[in-house]
């Protein structure tokens, strides 16, 4: 298996040539994020991922996590504890956290880059700090000062980890069905009782304490999503005693075997309210965009790693001759990269990965602007874009990232199917990213049922305006027409939705998935026009990367439009086909 190398050139190209993310340092609160600092951080992140996390990825998959029913303890794979310590001691757990609690306060954009690398190098180990990050956000945004002072410093330093306890056996998507109860104690705390499932890092041996963020219902709570509150429940209490929250077992999964996925039993465990009573879901929603964008990045990171492996394989593997005559006459056969059909699998990967990176990082950049830009109008504009881009980044990058890995595996033939090369693990590990943090079908419903409607329905217009503005910066490309056609298709689709879905919500729900795909490939088509233009500029003389870097980018752009444009009319046709063929079935006709 070839070693993972972080794609630093492409990351820096997107950050500094495409997004001009050096501008972040002009924003109060991000003064430290100078271009030099960001470049240095990326280089350090690459070293950590390449030399510490990647080497224990395959062994972590083989060994998996194990559970001791006597002690309720969970053992993570060999080497995970040491690697986690290097990760936390390097300050990576607190990269974007509030400096008041020991964080570095750097832009989220940098964290996206870090997480892309982590998901390439070792998807499973990345889950532990990933969930801590969610807990840090929840506490920072919603807890009172006492809880913040008490829990944030150790969460930020990584000495403790965090979890998000939402799902129960009878409810995943529909959190209104939660039955975990929180009964008030005399001292202002609560006693939590219930069972949570699929809790990432619910138990592990990496940290001395685990801080659970738990959705539960107060005794008098309404029986709906408006009756859910958020609680902080530490594994170890202040006085060093064990809080009665125990792991009841581990899930056995298709992938991410190095990540412990726990059944958690709360047996009257002591917790404290975070945020207001019955407003727990709202607290979750404020973190949701960042979390979902991060899941999209998982799809990208896994795809990047698979691409590297398959590209290396296709350059090295000698098999058959080119149909146009020997290309490697001194060898017994040609490298399989000469074959058009193999190139099809490589070009598809490259066209996805590099476009997706631009799309995701741009969204991360908007996330940072939405948090800290001094101008409230700019913050609002950026937040509008984050709102509508979030389901696209989450679903498109994980769906297409999975297909990209599938192409990597296929290009390698039987080798791809064996554990020796690591691509099959990337496929298994990344499968979950299409499901958690809201399945990709839920993302599509979020787009059509929520994001098109909120804020007086201005988000789709904000999307189209932003995309057209981006296109005006792409002066050295011949693909403006293609991107325009995509944008027009989005407008046509929105017209159909406007005419049909508001009177019949099933029409919107039926159109949701193709609509999300149409929005996503449209965004990709805009970013590819921008990338193509920047590559032309780089080739024209000012670029800091190699000529093949730029010319490869241009060729990937050409292939992107070749494979994408036929999809656009197909999605539009599917949207217009409406709900009929779906709803016509009675349940027993399936």
Cα–Cα dist 366/446, whole Å: 19
Q: What number of residues does the chain have?
A: 590
Alpha helix stretches (DSSP H) within 122-237: 123-142, 145-157
Sites for a copy of itself among residues 170-229 (CB under 8 A): 170-174, 177, 198
Burial class (CB in 10 A: 0-12, 13-18, 19+), 1: middle
In 32-187, DSSP assigns E strands to 66-68, 73-75, 160-165, 181-184
- Rule CB under 8 A: choose which of 457, 506, 540, 544 binds a copy of itself: 506
Please, are residues 560 and 524 in contact by the beta-carbon 8 Å criterion?
yes
Beta carbon nearer to a copy of itself, 244 or 578: 578
Sites for a copy of itself among residues 518-557 (CB under 8 A): 548, 551-552, 555
Q: How far is the CB of 50 from a copy of itself (least distance, A)?
A: 20
Q: Which range binds a copy of itself by CB under 8 A, 7-15, 132-140, 209-217, 344-352?
A: 344-352
Q: How far is the CB of 81 from a copy of itself (least distance, A)?
A: 25
Cα–Cα dist 545/128, whole Å: 35
Beta carbon nearer to a copy of itself, 270 or 339: 339
Please, are residues 4 and 109 in contact by the beta-carbon 8 Å criterion?
no
Element holding 571 (H helix, E strand): helix 547-577
Cα–Cα dist 458/454, whole Å: 8
Q: How far is the CB of 327 from a copy of itself (least distance, A)?
A: 9
Q: Is 2 in the site for a copy of itself (CB under 8 A)?
A: no
DSSP string, 353-412: HHHHHHHHHHHHHHHHHHHH-SSHHHHHHHHHHHHHHHHHHHHHHHHHHHHHHHHHHHHT
Sites for a copy of itself among residues 148-177 (CB under 8 A): 167, 170-174, 177
Q: Is 258 in the site for a copy of itself (CB under 8 A)?
A: no
Beta carbon nearer to a copy of itself, 47 or 562: 562
Q: Which range binds a copy of itself by CB under 8 A, 461-469, 472-480, 481-489, 498-506?
A: 498-506
Beta carbon nearer to a copy of itself, 342 or 367: 342
Please, are residues 411 and 344 in contact by the beta-carbon 8 Å criterion?
no
Beta carbon nearer to a copy of itself, 81 or 579: 579
DSSP 545: S
Sites for a copy of itself among residues 234-253 (CB under 8 A): 251-253
Q: How far is the CB of 489 from a copy of itself (least distance, A)?
A: 13
Cα–Cα dist 153/151, whole Å: 6
Cα–Cα dist 193/393, whole Å: 36
Cα 146 to Cα 139, 140, 292, distances in angstroms = 11, 11, 29
* Catalytic annotation present for 277: no
The catalytic position among 116, 168, 203, 437 is 437
- Rule CB under 8 A: choose which of 332, 376, 377, 503 binds a copy of itself: 332
- Rule CB under 8 A: choose which of 144, 149, 185, 320 binds a copy of itself: 320
Beta carbon nearer to a copy of itself, 200 or 366: 200
Beta carbon nearer to a copy of itself, 148 or 394: 394
Q: Which range binds a copy of itself by CB under 8 A, 8-16, 27-35, 138-146, 420-428?
A: 420-428
Residues 6+ apart with CB under 8 A from 563: 348, 351
Burial class (CB in 10 A: 0-12, 13-18, 19+), 331: exposed
Q: Which range binds a copy of itself by CB under 8 A, 90-98, 277-285, 415-423, 490-498?
A: 415-423
Q: Which range binds a copy of itself by CB under 8 A, 71-79, 236-244, 517-525, 577-585?
A: 577-585
Q: Is 435 in the site for a copy of itself (CB under 8 A)?
A: yes
Instruction: Please list the active-site residues.
Output: 437
């Amino acid at each position: 298996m070839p070693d993972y190398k972080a794609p630093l050139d492409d990351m820096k190209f997107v950050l500094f040539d495409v997004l001009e993310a050096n501008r972040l340092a002009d924003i109060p609160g991000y003064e430290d994020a100078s271009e030099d600092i960001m470049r240095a951080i990326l280089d350090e992140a690459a070293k950590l991922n390449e030399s510490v996390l990647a080497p224990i990825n395959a062994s972590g998959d083989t060994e998996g996590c194990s559970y001791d029913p006597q002690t309720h303890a969970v053992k993570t794979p060999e080497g995970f504890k040491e690697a986690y310590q290097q990760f936390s001691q390097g300050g990576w757990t607190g990269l974007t956290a509030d400096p008041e609690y020991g964080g570095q306060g750097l832009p989220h954009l940098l964290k996206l880059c870090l997480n892309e690398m982590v998901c390439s190098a070792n998807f499973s180990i990345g889950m532990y700090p990933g969930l801590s990050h969610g807990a840090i956000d929840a506490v920072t945004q919603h807890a009172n000062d006492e809880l913040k002072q008490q829990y944030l410093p150790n969460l930020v330093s990584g000495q403790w980890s965090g979890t998000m306890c939402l799902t129960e056996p009878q409810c995943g998507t529909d959190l209104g069905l939660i039955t975990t109860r929180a009964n008030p104690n005399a001292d202002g705390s609560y006693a939590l009782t219930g069972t949570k499932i699929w809790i990432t890092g619910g138990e592990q041996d990496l940290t001395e304490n685990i801080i659970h963020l738990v959705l539960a219902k107060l005794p008098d709570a309404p029986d709906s999503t408006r009756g859910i509150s958020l609680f902080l429940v530490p594994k170890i209490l202040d006085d060093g005693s064990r809080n009665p929250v125990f792991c009841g077992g581990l899930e056995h999964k298709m992938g991410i075997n190095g990540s412990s996925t726990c059944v958690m039993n709360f047996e009257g465990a002591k917790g404290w309210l975070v945020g207001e009573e019955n407003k727990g879901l709202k607290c979750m929603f404020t973190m949701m965009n960042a979390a979902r964008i991060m899941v999209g990045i998982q799809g990208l990171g896994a795809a990047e790693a698979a691409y590297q492996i398959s590209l290396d394989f296709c350059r090295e593997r000698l098999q058959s001759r080119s149909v146009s005559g020997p290309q490697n006459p001194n060898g017994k056969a040609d490298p399989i990269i000469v074959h058009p059909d193999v190139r099809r699998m490589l070009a598809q990967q490259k066209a996805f990965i590099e476009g997706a990176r631009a799309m995701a990082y741009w969204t991360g950049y908007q996330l940072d602007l939405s948090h800290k830009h001094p101008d409230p109008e700019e913050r609002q504009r950026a937040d509008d874009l984050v709102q509508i881009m979030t389901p696209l980044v989450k679903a498109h990058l994980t769906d297409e990232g999975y297909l990209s890995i599938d192409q990597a595996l296929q290009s390698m033939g039987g080798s791809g199917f064996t554990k020796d090369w690591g691509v099959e693990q990337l496929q298994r590990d990344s499968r979950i990213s299409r499901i958690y943090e809201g399945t990709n079908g839920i993302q599509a419903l979020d787009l059509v049922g929520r994001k098109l409607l909120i804020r007086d329905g201005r988000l789709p217009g904000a999307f189209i305006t932003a995309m057209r503005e981006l296109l005006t910066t792409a002066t050295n490309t011949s693909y403006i027409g293609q991107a325009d056609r995509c944008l027009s298709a989005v407008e046509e689709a929105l017209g159909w939705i406007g005419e049909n879905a508001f009177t019949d919500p099933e029409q919107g729900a039926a159109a949701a998935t193709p609509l999300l795909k149409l929005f996503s490939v449209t965004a990709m088509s805009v970013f590819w026009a921008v990338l193509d233009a920047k590559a032309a500029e780089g080739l024209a003389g000012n670029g800091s990367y190699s000529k093949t870097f730029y010319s490869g980018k241009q060729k990937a752009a050409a292939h992107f439009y070749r494979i994408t444009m036929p999809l656009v009319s197909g999605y539009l046709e599917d949207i217009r086909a409406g709900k009929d063929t779906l709803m016509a079935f009675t349940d027993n006709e399936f």
